[in-house]
Each structure stands twice: as structure tokens, then as C-alpha cells.
Amino acid sequence: MPTLNEIRSTFLNFFEENDHQIVESSPLVPRNDPTLMFTNAGMVQFKNLFTGVEHRDYKRAATSQKCVRAGGKHNDLDNVGYTARHHTFFEMLGNFSFGDYFKEQAIPFAWDLLTKEFGLNKDKLLVTIYHTDDEAAEIWKKYAGLSDDRIIRIATDDNFWSMGATGPCGPCTEIFYDHGPEIWGGPPGSPEEDGDRFIEIWNLVFMQYEQFEDGTRQDLPNQSIDTGMGLERIGALLQGKHDNYDTDLMRALIEASAHITSQDPDGPGNVHHRVIADHLRSTSFLIADGVMPSNEGRGYVLRRIMRRAMRHAHLLGAKDPVMHQLVPNLVAQMGQAFPELGRAQPLIEETLKLEETKFKQTLDRGLRLLDDELDKLQDGAALPGEAAFKLYDTYGFPLDLTQDALREKGREVDVSGFESAMAEQKAKARAAWSGSGEAADAAIWFDIAEDEAKGTTDFLGYDTEVAEG
Ligand code: ATP
Ligand code: MG
Ligand code: MG
Ligand code: MG
């Protein structure tokens, strides 16, 4: 059974043998791209090659890209612990063509790797295409021998990628694996598609057109390819598992969490171990790439992920800080592929320990307050906004942490109530400032504070369209 580390190498070797340049993963904080919170796809570091602004001495590349999806259009934070296939941090394996090969070769590469090199059962594979993309349908039929019923035509944006409102865009084709009828879910395009039966493993984007401001589209002079496959998803398949969290690497982290908290990895605490394993990876890699917990922007997203993990450790009964103790295990698993992790190990451990020590002081009391508030509520009623705001303001609970805590109980937060409580506090604070002569500065400060507070929100560029695969 190949390990994730071996599968990564097999992928890269396959494309190297097919004349691709192996390029290192770029950092999680995108270079020169303030519009994007975190690198969330393999194509991010190649944007300028696709638009033709930049040229390099290779036209084909392959990477295993570190990705974080914990905000904006791609926010998988709330999926962690609930689906078999989502992480906040994952590796995206990708092959790229910059004006070199196009569909006629991209599909055969993917098919050969999956069915020959990796030996997947062809009968379990099916694909989606953009509804008008007859070329792709033809290649899937001819090369892969897929019958029409296994080539699903999708008319939505799920199968049409664009870099932004203008610029390169084009249809995509997604490859799915059917994990069998014992698992809930339906084929892509069906009402049950969000289930975990049919899991998307690979997305191939055909950058075919350029979109202009006036709404017109033209063929790109250099048509390009951008693909993305989740290492953990293909890893699960090749290890005979259904669930990403049962792969060797994730399992090792789950067992470490179970060991340190003295809780059965597969008992009722399983979901907490999964969240901890996932959040350990995203927080450690973010710190290794220079993000530090703070109350704004990227640092606040990091802090939110850390605090969520800490609540799950608390639920496992941990008395002492847990997260930093798991770092050596992560470094043992991933330090060879990502040397920055080992280099930053002391910083990661210290940062996690300090955050957890600080947050512990209010976490217990905040959770007790939350329980008391819930006891007062009628069945099914939402937690009042003022309570959520008090947790935020006094106990350092980001809104999404409170929401995460309530979700297990089938409850929600009155978010608009939370927002008005926030607005009210802001107004009061503004009034207190008036006459100081610093009103303009204060207003700016409060606007920043507000964005942070919303937590889930408004970092510049959150809504910017970013690569799918
Ligand atoms: P899904 O529909 O399952 O959420 P996606 O369409 O959002 O996936 P893409 O943006 O197409 O995913 O990313 C390319 C590939 O990266 C996917 O086919 C999948 O294998 C992998 N991937 C995407 N999101 C995640 C995630 N949160 N955790 C693990 N792997 C992921
Ligand atoms: Mg997704
Ligand atoms: Mg998808
Ligand atoms: Mg996709």
C-alpha cells in the first residue's frame, strides 16, 4: 500500500517522465497577490504564465501545492469533521501546460495515470464536462472508452472556470470515483451530490477563451491546461479507504491526538481527533509560511482555526495544551517533503503553546456560559446575538467557534443579533471618542475591528474568483 509521500512522488515522476518541469510548492501566503487570502489551488503561482505576462523556460510543469481553504469562495472549514473528503489544509497535485498541450493530451495523461500507473478500476470512474464541450466528450469516449451515461453534462459554473471577471476562462472536466451504494450520495448534478459516495478526485481546467469587459469572449492564442487532484483523496483510494482521514498520514495524526488525550481514536471522540489533525496541519503550515495569530486579516483566520482546534481538545477532556505536543509527529510525517516545517518547528510549537495557554483561561468559562445560555432557551431556538457577542467580546470566542459548538447540538446563532450587538458597541465606543480630535483615525480603527469581528468575512479579495483546480 503506497503512502501519501510515495503517491506524491509517483505523481511528480509520471509528469517528469512526460517532460514536465517539477516546480516546488509556493508559500501559502501568495506572493504579490494581496487579493487572495491564502494559496488555494496549484495554479495560483502560475497566474502570470497563463495570462502571458510572464514567460519561463518551460511550458509544462507539475507541482504538489500546499493549499488552505478556510475563507471566502472556497471555505471548507465547516466541512471538516463532517465530510470524508475535506480539509482546511491539503495538497493539490497538478500538471500544467502553458500554451503547450491542450485537451487532447490532458485527458489521456490523467486517464493513464489513474488507470495504468495507479491501477484504479475503470468501472468506478465517471466524469463531468461542461454541457457544450463536445470535444472533451469525444476524447473521453474515444480514449477512455467511457459510455455516454458516465459523461455527465453540467451547465453550471461548477464546470466553467474563470480567473476573474475578465481574463482566461474555459470549461473543465471533473473525474469522480464511485465509492459504492453503501455510502450516501448521488452522482454529480443530482440532488444528493454533496454526499460522499461519488467523490471528485481530479479537476482538469481547459483555459480556452479570454473574457472581455464588454461580455464578449475570444479564443486564447495560447490555450492552456490547469489541473488539480487532492493528494489525500487519491491517497484514500489507493489505500483502499473511503475516507481521507483513514490515510496513513492523517491516521498517524489522529492516533497521536488519541494518545496525548488518552481517548480512543475511534470512539465518540473520533470527530474531535479529526478536527485536531486537520487544524494541526493548517495552523502549522501557516505559521511556517510566516502567518502569526492576530486580530486581523490572515492572522485572524489562523487564530480562529487554532481556537476551534483547542475547543475540540477541551471536549476530549485535555487539561493541558495539546496542539503543540502534536507538532513533532507532523514534522515526522511531512518534514521531508516540506523542509520549512522542520525549520519552523520551534516557532510553531511556541506559538501554539502560547495561544492555547492564553485561550484556556477563558475557554472553560465561556463554554460554561454557553451551556447556561442554552439551558435558558426553548427547544430549537437560536442563541441570542447578545450572548454570542458576549462570548466574542469577553471570552475571545470567534463567531464561527460559537457556531461550531452549537452545530453539534443542532442549534444556530442569531447572526444579525450578533451584528447589531457589535454595531452598538462600536457606536458607543465612537461616541466616547468624539471630541478627542482623533475621530478620523478612530473611524478607521473601528472599521478594521468590525471586519475582524465578523470573522467569516470581508478580507479584501475574499470574493475574488480563484482557481478551481
Ligand atoms: P469539492 O466539490 O469536493 O468540494 P472542489 O470542486 O471544490 O471539490 P477543486 O477546486 O476542483 O475542488 O480542487 C481540485 C481538487 O482538489 C479536487 O478535485 C479535490 O481532489 C481537491 N480538493 C478540493 N478541496 C479540497 C479540500 N478541502 N480538502 C481536500 N481536497 C480538496
Ligand atoms: Mg469545494
Ligand atoms: Mg467540485
Ligand atoms: Mg472541482
Q: What pLDDT does residue 406 have?
A: 94
* pLDDT classification of 287: cutoffs 50, 70, 90: very high
Q: What pLDDT does residue 35 have?
A: 80
pTM of the entire predicted model: 0.91
What ligand 1 atom has the least distance to the C-alpha of 172?
A: 11
Q: What pLDDT does residue 267 have?
A: 95
The three cell numbers of residue 241 are 479507504
Q: What pLDDT does residue 431 have?
A: 83
Chain mean pLDDT for the chain:
91
Whether complex ipTM tops 0.95: yes
Structure confidence by residue, pLDDT tens digits, 3-62: 999 999 999 999 999 999 999 999 999 987 788 899 999 999 999 999 888 999 999 999
Looking at all shown ligands, the one closest to residue 40's CA atom is: 1
Looking at all shown ligands, the one closest to residue 230's CA atom is: 1
Residue 16 CA to residue 61 CA, distance in Å, equals 8
Contact residues for 144 (Cβ-Cβ < 8 A; gap 6+): 107, 111, 115, 122, 125
3-class DSSP state for residue 223?
A: strand
3-class DSSP state for residue 89?
A: strand
What ligand 1 atom has the least distance to the C-alpha of 40?
A: 10
**CB 86 near ligand 1, within 6 Å:** yes
CA of 230 from ligand 1 middle (Å) equals 6
pLDDT average, residue stretch 252-267 = 97
**CB 233 near ligand 1, within 6 Å:** yes
The number of angstroms, rounded, from the C-alpha of 76 to the middle of its chain's C-alpha atoms is 5
The three cell numbers of residue 220 are 486564447
Q: What pLDDT does residue 378 have?
A: 87
What ligand 1 atom has the least distance to the C-alpha of 200?
A: 18
CB 180 within 8 A of CB 168: no
DSSP 362-400: HHHHHHHHHHHHHHHSPTTPPBPHHHHHHHHHHH---HH
Query: Hey, which of 4, 63, 65, 233 would you mutate to test ligand 1's pocket, going by the most ligand atoms within 8 Å of its Cβ?
Result: 233
Looking at all shown ligands, the one closest to residue 83's CA atom is: 1
* pLDDT classification of 435: cutoffs 50, 70, 90: low
